Amino acid sequence: MRTTVTLDKDVAAAVRRLRLSEGMGLSEALNRLARAGLTVKPSSKPFRQRAV
């Protein structure tokens, strides 16, 4: 699927670093980073003590 996205500078830099270090194309790097972000488990809710 083709689409146009605007990446923040820090995200674009992360994609570039991955591409250079792994020798992969733009689509492959973006897909890998997107999959990694989708598999991150959400942190548990912070502990909150109720006042009585």
**What's the CA gap between 25 and 35, in Å, rounded?**
16
pLDDT score at 42: 74
> For residue range 1-52, what is the model confidence (pLDDT) as tens digits?
888 999 999 999 999 999 999 999 999 999 999 999 898 777 777 888 888 7
